[in-house]
């Protein structure tokens, strides 16, 4: 069964529980942040920050402000460019369930996977000379649990399941949004 994550940014409240859950589950070191005048945690993903909610303010015709959110993390592509670009045997694997994972002991730090990713997701650590990205909590999924970011989401804007199930959830949500004039 191919798994997928569903992301509905229209119901995201920007609480960042998914960011915190990712950091905690993966035992990632806290990043030093700089206030850039936005609610966003960091300007971009880093080797130690694999899940980022991007915030953008939008002003409507009446002058009302609202936030547009986007979740940046690995898309676990069906045909991953990072995997195609990687010259190191076994450094990147795509599991039967579709999860794309990096095997760090096989990584040679060349960075080809970074240029192969159309979403600019993998990041090279200057400290370890290895590349890092979201694993979709492959260790949790392997024992029947959902990824940490999805478990932590209080609004269910993040969901996880079979690709077919998630497509059904998405189609239902699109229909609801269209009914409401979006």
Residues 26 and 66 in one domain: yes
CA distance 43 to 35: 10
Residues 64 and 103 in one domain: no
CATH number at residue 152: 3.30.70.20
Number of domains making up the chain: 2
Confidence of residue 182 (pLDDT cuts 50, 70, 90): confident
Residues 96 and 65 in one domain: no
- Low-confidence winner among 48-52, 53-57, 123-127 (lowest mean pLDDT): 53-57
Structure tokens at 149: 């970011």
Query: Looking at residues 74-100, what average pLDDT do you find?
Result: 98
Residues 54 and 9 in one domain: yes
How far does Cα 118 stand from its chain's mean position? 14
Residues 12 and 65 in one domain: yes
Query: Which residues contact residue 80 at a Cβ distance below 8 angstroms, ignoring those fewer than 6 apart?
Result: 92, 94, 100, 116, 117
CA distance 114 to 66: 33
As separate numbers, helices (DSSP H) first and strands (DSSP E) second, the chain gives 6, 8
Residues 15 and 65 in one domain: yes
- Is 182 contained in some domain? no
Residues 101 and 43 in one domain: no
Residues 86 and 63 in one domain: no
- Is 150 contained in some domain? yes
- Is 160 contained in some domain? yes
- Is 151 contained in some domain? yes
Q: Each residue of 59-69: pLDDT tens digit?
A: 999 999 888 99
Containing structural domain, residue 13: 3-73+139-176
- Is 56 contained in some domain? yes
- What's the start-to-end Cα distance of the chain, in Å? 32
- Is 28 contained in some domain? yes
Q: Each residue of 125-169: pLDDT tens digit?
A: 999 999 999 999 999 999 999 999 999 999 999 999 999 999 999
């Amino acid at each position: 069964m191919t798994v997928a994550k569903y992301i509905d940014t229209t119901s995201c409240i920007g609480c960042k529980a998914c960011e915190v859950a990712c950091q905690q589950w993966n035992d990632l070191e806290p990043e030093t942040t700089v206030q850039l005048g936005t609610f966003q945690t960091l300007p971009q993903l880093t080797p130690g920050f694999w899940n980022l909610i991007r915030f953008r303010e939008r002003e409507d015709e009446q002058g009302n402000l609202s936030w547009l959110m986007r979740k940046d993390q690995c898309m676990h592509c069906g045909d991953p460019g990072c995997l195609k670009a990687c010259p190191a045997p076994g450094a990147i694997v795509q599991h039967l369930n579709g999860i794309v994972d990096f095997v760090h002991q096989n990584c040679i730090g060349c960075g080809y996977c970074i240029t192969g990713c159309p979403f600019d997701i993998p990041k090279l650590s200057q400290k370890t000379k290895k590349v890092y990205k979201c694993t979709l909590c492959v260790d949790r999924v392997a024992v029947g649990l959902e990824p940490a970011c999805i478990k932590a989401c209080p609004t269910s804007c993040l969901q996880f399941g079979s690709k077919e199930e998630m497509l059904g959830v998405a189609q239902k949500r699109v229909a609801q949004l269209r009914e409401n004039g979006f």
